[in-house]
Amino acid sequence: MMRYPMDRLHEEVAYLAYYFHWPYDQVMSLEHHERRRWVEQVAKINLERNAQNEALTGG
């Protein structure tokens, strides 16, 4: 069985803590698949917002 890379785990924790202001313990208590799903959803929101901003600013 392979372990999840620690650097990737730290990136996910930082990402969710930054965007949701969730404490470390709360993010770490999520199961792997649930944490990944949250990361994917935040990334999707960011991509959509960036595209909207670029359309509005012409950049």
Query: Could you read off the pLDDT of 3-14 as tens digits, one per residue?
Result: 889 999 999 999
pLDDT of residue 58: 82
Angle, alpha carbons 47-51-56 (nearest 5°): 150
Which residues are CB-contacts of 15 (< 8 A; sequence separation ≥ 6)?
39, 42
State the average pLDDT over residues 24-39.
96
